[in-house]
């Protein structure tokens, strides 16, 4: 978990920016089907950042005279079902809180705090509670909380300190082990589900959880393909987009793509090396003061040159990139912030992702760019360019018509069935240059092919 010294620094930093009481809640678990069976629970990220507390339903009140942690008292028969539990006071002390009160007292406290500032959570029940007790609407999509608190949280959480970077780096080591195991488990005649089970199993065997549902698919052209329903066949590419979450809450997000048969075909290798060139070029741009949109366009330019060389597009590179023609084969943004959330701070929408005075483009492809800020030391971002042959794009006249003068549909037909290739790493922005936290995961053609040929070491 986050150590008490770290969370105390976070509370102090937020209090320096925001004067007056602030209430942040963890959120409650949601039922899976029956009252005793819940969906996997994860505390609200800002609450976790402020407290390190993982107790469902908990809350923290930052006030001028100190901080109070509100925890639910366990039911009278809790020891029977879950074993002896520490008192809420003992739990609070472990987390570095001198003041702990029962959660049942929170409704009495809220009306007494004039000027109370709050944040919505992703839990609808908690948002309803906040709405009822503060008289102000709380909703994840429309009413996310006090704007000044949101602005402060974005500024503080988007710059990871040394402890947070170390925590992420430790999670990256487990992520590397999982990706290597998945590569070694890939064989013709196996199945997406089996490779996915190996990947997820390595993470579980290290006592961590997956940061999100891992994407393991031979249909990499489907960007968020969570189905694992296909066998692995000769000539296919397998795309695995997966990461781990540590006990600290910090996450990784890594994509690798590799040939099921262990060897890239000439066409697969050509695409792969173009995507890798785009990624490496963009990674080198991850330096303080660089606009993230420019990093995206740098990947787009490398990939556009490849598309022209392959006869898929025709025209001047600068003009093609400016028009967004590359988005026919690279239809998403090059990445996003990562930290306590896989897409960090996206609960707050473009307020977090876009800098002052910047708005999301309406251009196809560029409108999917999640981040457009100038990078600063402490940012951790993903860099994940890709190449995809998506029939739903190439057959859509509304999308292709603006590029009729430069897009060669007949050439694209020969690529149908190729799938998709994405390469993604997590990059820490430092004053001296990019620090790739996930650099140990095989990425070059030779490294990937060697990892597939490696023996799968039991992890169970």
Q: What is the pLDDT of residue 79?
A: 77
pLDDT of residue 78: 79
Question: pTM for the whole thing?
Answer: 0.96
- 70 and 185 housed in the same domain: no
- Segment 282-302 shows an average pLDDT of 98
With respect to residue 460, please indicate whether it lies within any of the assigned structural domains: no
Q: What ranges in 310-442 are assigned the alpha helix state H?
A: 317-323, 350-353, 391-394, 397-400, 409-413
Domain span holding position 94: 4-157
Whether 212 maps to a domain, the answer reads yes
Say how far apart CA 168 and CA 150 lie, in whole Å. Answer: 23
Mean pLDDT across 244-267: 97
pLDDT value for 26: 98
- Give the Cα separation of 55 and 35 in Å (integer): 18
Q: What is the per-residue pLDDT across 185-194, written as a single tens digit (0 to 9) for each?
A: 999 999 999 9
Are 181 and 174 spatial neighbours (Cβ–Cβ below 8 Å)? no
Domain with residue 133: its CATH number is: 3.40.350.10
Mean pLDDT of 322-340: 98
The answer on pLDDT for 67 being more than 90 is: yes
Q: Are residues 81 and 166 in the same domain?
A: no
What average pLDDT score do residues 389-417 get? 97
Residue 405 forms part of a structural domain: yes
> Of 406, 440, 404, 405, nearest to 425 (Cα)?
440
Phi, psi at 59, each rounded to 5°: -150, 155
Characterise 70 by phi-psi region: left (phi > 0), alpha (psi -120 to 50), beta (else): beta
Which band of pLDDT confidence, cut at 50, 70 and 90, is reported for residue 1?
A: confident
pLDDT at 437: 98
How far, CA to CA in Å, does 373 sit from each of 309, 330, 332, 367?
32, 21, 17, 15
The last residue of a domain, from among 157, 174, 194 = 157
135 and 175 co-located in one domain: no
CA 153 to chain centre: 17
Residues 100 and 182 in one domain: no
Whether residue 276 is contained in a domain is answered as yes
Q: How far apart are CA 379 and CA 291, in angstroms?
A: 12
Quick one: which of 439, 442, 385 has its CA closest to 183? 442
Do 106 and 205 lie in a common domain?
no
Considering only CA atoms, which of 381, 356, 358, 350 is closest in space to residue 287? 381
Judged by average pLDDT, the poorest of 101-115, 152-166, 196-210, 268-282 is: 101-115
Residues 398 and 383: beta-carbon distance below 8 Å: no
Which of 140, 157, 174 is where one domain is finished? 157
Query: Is 311 inside any structural domain?
Result: yes
Mean of per-residue pLDDT scores for the chain: 96
168 and 275: one domain?
Answer: yes
- Which CATH number do you get for residue 309? 3.90.230.10
- Does 459 map to a domain? no
The answer to whether residues 275 and 198 belong to one domain is: yes
Answer with the one of 106, 127, 157 that is the final residue of a domain.
157
| For the chain, percent of residues with pLDDT exceeding 90 | 92
Q: Evaluate if residue 76 carries a pLDDT over 90.
A: no
Average pLDDT over residues 346-363: 94
Tell me the average pLDDT across 345-365. Answer: 95
Pair (181, 258) in one structural domain: yes
Over the stretch 12-23, which tens digit does the pLDDT of each residue have?
Answer: 999 999 988 999
Region 156-161 average pLDDT: 98
pLDDT score recorded for residue 390:
98
Task: Please check whether residue 89 lies inside any domain of the structure.
Answer: yes
Q: pLDDT-based confidence at 80, cuts 50/70/90?
A: confident
Q: Are 210 and 258 found together in one domain? A: yes
Position 434 confidence tier, pLDDT thresholds 50, 70, 90: very high
| Helix ranges, 206-287 (H) | 266-284
Does residue 277 sit within a domain? yes
**Total structural domains in the chain?**
2
Q: How many CA atoms lie within 13 A of 228 on its CB side?
A: 18
What pLDDT, in 10s, does the model give residues 410-422? 999 999 999 999 9
Same domain, 351 and 203: yes
The answer on 15 and 103 residing in a single domain is: yes
Check whether residue 201 and residue 114 sit in a common domain: no
What pLDDT score was predicted for residue 83? 87
pLDDT at 54: 96
- In the predicted structure, residue 354 carries a pLDDT above the cut 80: yes
């Amino acid at each position: 978990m986050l150590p008490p010294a770290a969370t105390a620094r976070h509370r102090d930093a937020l209090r320096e920016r925001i004067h007056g009481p602030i209430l942040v809640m963890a959120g409650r678990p949601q039922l899976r089907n029956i009252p005793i069976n819940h969906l996997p629970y994860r505390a609200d990220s800002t609450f976790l950042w402020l407290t390190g507390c993982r107790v469902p339903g908990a809350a923290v009140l930052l006030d001028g005279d100190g901080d109070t942690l509100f925890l639910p008292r366990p039911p009278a028969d809790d020891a029977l079902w879950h074993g002896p539990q520490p008192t809420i006071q003992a739990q609070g002390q472990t987390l570095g809180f001198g003041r702990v009160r029962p959660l049942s007292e929170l409704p009495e406290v809220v009306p007494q705090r004039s000027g109370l500032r709050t944040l919505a959570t992703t839990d609808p029940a908690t948002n309803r509670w906040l709405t009822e007790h503060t008289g102000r609407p709380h909703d994840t999509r429309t009413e996310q909380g006090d704007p000044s608190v949101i602005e402060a949280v974005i500024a503080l959480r988007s710059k990871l300190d040394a402890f947070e970077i170390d925590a992420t780096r430790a999670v990256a080591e487990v992520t590397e082990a999982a990706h290597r195991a998945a590569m070694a488990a890939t064989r013709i005649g196996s199945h997406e589900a089996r490779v996915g089970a190996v990947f997820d199993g390595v993470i579980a065997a290290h006592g961590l959880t997956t940061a999100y549902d891992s994407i393991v698919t031979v249909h990499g052209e489907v960007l968020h393909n969570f189905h694992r329903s296909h066998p692995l066949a000769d000539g296919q590419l397998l795309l695995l987009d997966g990461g781990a979450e540590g006990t600290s809450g910090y996450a990784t997000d890594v994509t690798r793509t590799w040939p099921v048969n262990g060897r890239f075909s000439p066409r697969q290798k050509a695409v792969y090396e173009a995507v890798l060139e785009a990624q490496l070029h963009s990674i080198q741009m991850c330096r303080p003061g660089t606009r993230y949109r420019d990093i995206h366009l740098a990947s787009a330019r490398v990939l556009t040159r490849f598309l022209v060389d392959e006869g898929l597009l025709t025209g001047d590179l600068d003009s093609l990139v400016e028009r967004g023609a590359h988005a026919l084969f690279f239809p998403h943004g090059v990445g996003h912030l990562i930290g306590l959330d896989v897409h960090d701070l996206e609960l707050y929408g473009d307020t977090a992702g876009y800098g002052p005075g910047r708005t999301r483009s309406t251009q196809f492809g560029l409108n999917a760019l999640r981040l457009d800020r100038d990078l600063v030391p402490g940012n951790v971002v993903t860099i994940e360019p890709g190449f995809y042959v998506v029939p739903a794009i190439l057959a859509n006249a509304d999308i292709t018509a603006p590029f009729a003068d430069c897009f060669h549909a007949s050439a694209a037909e020969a690529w149908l069935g190729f799938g998709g290739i994405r390469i993604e790493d997590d990059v820490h922005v430092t004053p001296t240059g990019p620090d790739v936290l996930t650099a140990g995961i095989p990425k070059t053609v030779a490294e990937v092919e060697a990892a597939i040929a490696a023996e799968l070491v039991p992890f169970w």
